Homo-oligomer: A and B are copies of this chain.
Amino acid sequence: MVGDAPHRGNRYGRSERARRSVLEAADDLLVERGFAALTVEGIAVRAGVAKQTIYRWWPSKTAILLEAYAQDAAEELTPPDTGDLAADLRAHLRTLAAFLTGSDAGAVFRALVGQAQHDAGLADLLRREHLAGQRERDRLPLERAVERGELDPGLDLDELVDRLVGPVHYRVLVTGVPAPAEFTDALVAGVLATAARSPAS
């Protein structure tokens, strides 16, 4: 369950073994049983760890999920760089949709966003620690296009990102309607059509 890392448990550092098995257990339990059935006690039992060890290092079960999410999902959502803006965005949105609806990390993300609706502190953390970085990655293809002269430098790129990823998140989080490639591709086409015309206007 916990691998072969040494069991430290002394003042020269916390137990990496305990940390890892807690994150794994939380992840597994969330996917298997859902957020509502996720309890600190359940995580402790599954991880083979004392409850107090969890409370020593994490203030709440959402903090565990936040860290588990960071570990699992950080790199998955970097858009490609092929030199073709439309292609990069299409690929990125397809990956995003698959991530949000089909991956374990996406399940963690949905649970965190859900819980953030009830907990302003979590909302802040989530935005500072994850969404800000993701926004940077989401902007990359557009920034490169601006540098290549394909997009008007005066465009508000954050607004464009909202128009691209917003509808995908909306379908996943609110309506539950799938966001297949046709949907995300059309989204890219629509947004780029507007953006591309902007310099001409």
Q: Which residues of A contact B (CB under 8 A)?
A: 34-36, 110-111, 113-119, 123, 127, 131, 135, 156, 158-159, 162-163, 165-171, 173-177, 183, 186-187, 189-191, 193-194, 197
Given known pairs A171-B162, A175-B127, A176-B127, the reply for A116 and B118 (CB within 8 Å) is: no
Which residues of B have CB within 8 Å of A163?
A: 163, 167, 187, 190
Copies held by the complex = 4
Which residues of B have CB within 8 Å of A158?
A: 177
For residue A186, which residue of chain B has the nearest CB?
B159
Q: Which residue from B118, B166, B189 sits with its C-beta under 8 Å from A114?
A: B118
- Please determine whether B175 and A170 come into contact, CB atoms closer than 8 angstroms: no
- Please determine whether B36 and A118 come into contact, CB atoms closer than 8 angstroms: yes
- Please determine whether A117 and B114 come into contact, CB atoms closer than 8 angstroms: yes
Which residues of B have CB within 8 Å of A191?
A: 190, 194
CA distance A127 to B159 in the complex (A): 27
Which residues of B have CB within 8 Å of A118?
A: 34-36, 111, 114-115
CA distance A190 to B167 in the complex (A): 14
CA distance A113 to B119 in the complex (A): 13
Q: Which residue from B156, B170, B197 sits with its C-beta under 8 Å from A166?
A: B170
Of the candidates A114, A162, A170, A174, the one having the most CB atoms from chain B within 10 angstroms of its own CB is: A174
CA distance A48 to B189 in the complex (A): 56
Minimum CB–CB distance for A172 against chain B, Å = 10
Minimum CB–CB distance for A29 against chain B, Å = 13
